[in-house]
Chains A and B, each alone.
Chain A
Amino acid sequence: MSVVTVQLFASYADAFGAPQLEIPLEPGSTVADLVRRIQALPSGDLLPASPRVAVNRKFAAPDKLIGSNDEIALIPPVAGG
């Protein structure tokens, strides 16, 4: 089991009351596994069914494997411009 840091922004940071989360993950976990872990937390039900996740500053597919040194962020619906 390793712990990954997940960066939060905007409405998601407000929902969890924090700019980041520390999530324990089994080796071999995927983005989808991580999302399920986060959705099981208090306030996790405020997230959409399939929130966008960035791994190493790129949008990641649900089946992408997560490494212990990856930079991970949960990305709320974007509204730049």
Chain B
Amino acid sequence: MKRAGVVARAIDPASLIAEVQSPQVGGISLFLGTVRDTNDGRTVTGLDYSAYTAMAESEMAEILSEAGERFGVDSIVVEHRVGALRLEDISIAIVAAHAHRQPAMACTRFVIDEIKKRVPIWKREHYVDGTTQWVDPTHESGASAL
């Protein structure tokens, strides 16, 4: 099974692992993205994530389909959280299961790398000085010029 969702609640990695678990599975790879307290030399106090939800979910589903073909992995689940997140909160969880570890591990890496390139989700950082800024990975400093 494959499932991709944008959610506005806390992500529970254990429930995602349960979705992919089966007697045929010998390795489960879990990737978690979490909120860090610094970026580009600035102290971050929290993040807001927003999404073009319909396209984000269809694009993530497409990525899971590509990953499934590429690595022969049938069981992959991804959830990306939107809304206000605090430090250490989980922003994304990707779980892939396979009979063997290597396809599962390659799969989670491929999925997070592709999500970062092409899924329409954005984050606005809140800094300790009270300012905020949209993050633009294509901009030299990583912060939006807008």
Contacts and interface: CB of A to CB of B under 8 A. Distances in A.
B137 interface: yes
A54 to B, nearest CB: 6
Contact of B55 (A10, A12, A57, A81): A57
A81 B146 contact: no
A interface, size bucket: 20 to 34
Contacts, number: 83
A12 B52 contact: no
Interface stretch (A21-29, A33-41, A62-70, A71-79): A71-79
B104 to A, nearest CB: 19
Given A80-B92, A80-B119, A11 B146 contact: yes
Interface string B89-110: 0011000000000000000000
B146 A15 contact: yes
DSSP class of A's interface residues: helix, strand, loop or mixed? mixed
Interface in B101-126: 112, 115-124
Contacts of B92: 80-81
A59 B118 contact: yes
B146 A78 contact: no
16 contacts: A10-B50, A11-B136, A11-B146, A14-B134, A15-B146, A54-B52, A57-B54, A57-B59, A73-B52, A76-B146, A78-B116, A80-B115, A80-B120, A80-B121, A81-B92, A81-B112
Interface of A: 7, 9-12, 14-15, 46, 54, 57-59, 73, 75-81
